[in-house]
Amino acid sequence: METKQPVPRAILVGIQLPGVDDANHAASIAELSRLVKTLGYEVVGTLSQKRDALDGATVLGKGRLGELSAMTGGTGSVGSMAAPSRSKARDRFEDAGERPAAPEADRDGDGPPGLEFVIVDHEISPSQARNLERATGAQVLDRTGVIVEIFHRHARSREAKLQVEMARLQYVFPRLRETSGGGGRQSGVGAGESDIDLDRRKIRDRRAELKQQLDAIQRDDEQRRSARRDQLRVALVGYTNAGKSSLMRALTGSDVLVADQLFATLDTTVRALRPETTPRILVSDTVGFIKKLPHDLVASFRSTLAEALDASLLLFVVDASDATYEAQLEVTHAVLRETGADDLPSRLILNKADRLDEADRLALQAKHPDAILLSTISPADVAALHETIVAFFELAMVEDQLTLPYAKQGLLGDIYGHVRVLSEEFDVAGRILRVRGLPGAIAGLRKTLAAS
């Protein structure tokens, strides 16, 4: 009989900085709690402090640091800068193959049984993390470390795994430090290097290797996107857990993963809109966003977000039942501005309407009269969105005429695949087709017919 692994327990730490009101601070802590629970940790407490800035050494002030240390069983003292000792918490995670992407804990004791983590709702420096670990006797992760670890666990495709590994190495690199074994010199290849120098060189080499592999994958992706460039494309974008994958499944009938957790989807999926239209409309599901999304992750997933950049229509999906949906929408706009996709045609989708009462529905419709309020579990709502998407592309379509010579009838499938054929006639020149489609698609077909 297998021994059940104990659930790691964590305490959340948040600093309320100037300009952040109580509601936004509480929302950020609540979101961090969901992130930590996504990792499978139990949140046992929260400690907050209002400060003008994070303490440069320990994040918190002395008083709050003492409170935190009392909760974790630590000494409350930063203590010596000597090399850290191993922690039982870290050993247990390494044995289970679940090593978090964070620095090793500097601690002499283990604190109360099972209380192993302090999670800070900010990006903190390696020295701040080390000092907190010495004072609390717990392993310290910041918000970035939690998100990177979630990405690591949820990556499925080869590209996503490479992208996440690149981001993890970016995160770990400045946090490397000597182990308790000391920084002895190495022999053989790289002689004269200390342990930490060797580790840094290995990370640099691995990052270069990952970049080469990602560049090759991204070239293939670019070729696939180029092949779809004349097709009609919609991209679903939005905050993590806003319901993009549920909407993707409802619109396309695909079996994409749907889970009520943060960052369930990291891989871009492209499927045809169902019921199918002529020409086909492709729908892309993209990675979700979150406040304080690490820049390294945004950079790593830039190729994935290129699907949004290449789309003709963006559907901004928000969880209308979440009181912070407007802040979440702004985060989505901010990330897309980084990729240059924020100025594309778009529609706002107020999702999860089934969780709203009638008064909330009316208030949302009054506030966002051009938005689409829907629930993915309502066939009528999904059908109405389907019609809206089709109508958007219809407005951009034109009618034209193509002549397909009898000697080139093999291209008939390409024509039917890219435009809607309204009528066919025959004369001595060949098949005369009256078509409706996007101007670019029609121009491409005419160029193909002329070159064949």
Q: Are residues 391 and 275 in the same domain?
A: yes
Residue 92's pLDDT is what? 44
Same domain, 127 and 161: no
The answer to whether position 185 is within a domain reads no
Residues 160 and 145 in one domain: no
Question: Could you tell me if residue 2 is inside a domain?
Answer: no
Q: H or E segment at 417?
A: helix 412-418
> Residue 447: helix, strand or coil by DSSP?
helix
Gap between the Cα atoms of 417 and 414, Å rounded: 5
**Residue 183 counted as domain residue:** no
| Residues 248 and 390 both lie in one domain | yes
pLDDT of residue 388: 96
Contact 265, 158 (CB under 8 A): no
Domain that includes residue 15, residue range:
9-151
- The radius of gyration computed from the CA coordinates of the chain, to the nearest angstrom, equals 27
Q: What is the pLDDT of residue 103?
A: 34
The pairing of strands 398-404 and 430-437 is antiparallel
Contact 96, 90 (CB under 8 A): no
- Positions in the chain whose pLDDT score sits under 50: 81-114, 178-190
User: Checking DSSP bridges between strand 115-120 and strand 139-142, what pairing results, if any?
Assistant: parallel
221 with 233, same domain?
no
Q: Judge if 439 and 345 occupy the same domain.
A: no
Q: What is the DSSP letter of 382?
A: H
Q: Check residue 231 and give its pLDDT.
A: 75
In tens, the pLDDT along 136-160 reads 999 999 998 898 888 888 777 787 7
Same domain, 90 and 221: no
**Amino acid present at 177:** R
Total-model pTM: 0.74
Number of separate domains in the chain: 4
Please check whether residues 369 and 238 belong to one and the same domain. yes
- The CATH number linked to 49 is 3.40.50.11060
**Which strand (E) or helix (H) includes residue 42?**
strand 42-50
Q: Does one domain contain both 264 and 364? A: yes
Residue (of 223, 254, 233) closest to 396 by Cα position: 233
Q: Please, where are the H alpha helices in 79-237?
A: 88-95, 126-136, 143-154, 158-172, 195-227
**Domain identity same for 216 and 323:** no
Q: Give the Cα separation of 254 and 349 in Å (integer).
A: 20
Residue ranges of the alpha helices (H) in 237-346?
244-252, 295-300, 302-309, 325-339
Number of H helices, E strands in the chain: 15, 13
Q: Specify the pLDDT at position 258.
A: 52
Distance, CA of 123 to chain centre: 17
Distances from the Cα of 303 to the Cα of 222, 225, 297, 307, 339, angstroms: 9, 11, 11, 8, 10
Same domain, 293 and 419: no
Q: What gap in Å lies between CA 278 and CA 252, rounded to an integer? A: 15
Residues 6+ apart with CB under 8 A from 352: 243, 319, 320, 321, 375, 376
Cα separation of 101 and 168, whole Å? 6
Reading phi first (left if > 0) and then psi (alpha if -120 to 50, else beta), residue 409 is in alpha
Mark whether 410 and 384 lie in a shared domain. no
CATH number for the domain including 273?
Answer: 3.40.50.300
